[in-house]
Amino acid sequence: MQKSLLAQLREITTVVSDTGDIQAIEKFTPQDATTNPSLITAAAQMPNYQQIVDDVLLGAKKDAGKDAKNADVTKLAFERLAVAFGTKILAIIKGRVSTEVDARLSFDTEKTLSTARSIIEQYDKAGISKERVLIKIASTWPGIKAAEVLEKEGIHCNLTLLFGIHQAIACADAGVTLVSPFVGRILDWYKKDTGKDYQGADDPGVQSVTKIYNYFKKFGYKTQVMGASFRNIGEIKELAGCDLLTISPNLLAELDSTFENLPRKLDPANAKSLNIEKLTIDEATFEKMHEQDRMAHDKLSEGIKGFSDALVNLEKLLADRLVALGASEKKELAYK
């Protein structure tokens, strides 16, 4: 009997769920899970997860003290919410969860370091080993330098918003655990820039991940490649064999209901035989290549802004919910 595409994919690639929706994770039981500010913000607005949000807010209010201002309570809750979702997710999956550092710190190495350490400390208080957590950091030069320090401390990192080979090589040279090249966002840029549509192996996002994967395997880097941000299952099929792929619930469902042969496209043995030039990426080279790569330059800036905007929305959502909880408490006291 023919296996589904999802079942075949799992035999050669670690399947990761790209969502903050805990019920979707329970349905597809991925090995790992990733979240980002947009996904956490979306999940926090779902009625199913209102209790998680309320518990975090009430815990922050208690810890902040009775004289704390709402703004202080909201800030504390904001710092804890992603870890709260991550903790719930880790109760379901066997592997790791990726939790993102505030995108507004993407160009601040020291603040990225302190925030990452705080995230790990929060997980530790929840009884979760740092081995089960990947700290997500944007692939800016300051972000990569922060990840290099964290990896030496035994804190594993997932470098995100990655669009160019210069970003990938700098991450691998820094010894990061995982990189997440954004397939679909690369495709979006090229479609808009050229007015063309791309299918299969011609998809520039697919080509980017393939290039990064082959480079890492050719030169024996331990850094793993996790394709992310997919627009269709055609992109996923072209990257079968990649170390990991993080996939949204709707595309996981499509893979699970599609029955056809899935040939392996990426293979470390094949990569070893390729003629690839070894590059040295220092800060000056990184910045020069980044400026010359219009797509990577545009999409990194856009991605950081998008995640930052999502965090502003999340802060407002928490502030509004805190006011609502306060009003509810006053009502309860009035009835007593």
Burial class of 11 by CB neighbour count within 10 A (0 to 12, 13 to 18, 19+): exposed
Sign of the C-alpha dihedral computed for residues 11, 12, 14 and 15 taken in this order: negative
Distance CA 57, CA 290 (A): 40
Q: Interior CA angle at 22 toward 20 and 23, to 5°?
A: 130
Q: CB neighbours of 221 closer than 8 A, spacing ≥ 6?
A: 172, 215
Query: Do the Cβ atoms of 241 and 194 come closer than 8 Å?
Result: no
Sign of torsion over alpha carbons 166, 170, 173, 176: negative
Alpha carbons 245 and 236: distance in angstroms, whole number: 8
d(CA 52, CA 72): 19
How far apart, in Å, are the Cα atoms of 3 and each of 32, 210, 254, 256, 266? 22, 25, 13, 9, 20
List 135's β-bridge partners, or say none. Answer: 99, 157
CA dist 91 to 21, 164, 184, 249, Å?
13, 34, 29, 18
Q: How many other CB atoms are there within 10 angstroms of residue 118's CB atom?
A: 14
User: Annotated active-site positions, please?
Assistant: 136
Phi, psi (rounded to 5 degrees) for 235: -65, -40
Tokens standing for residue 46: 């779902």
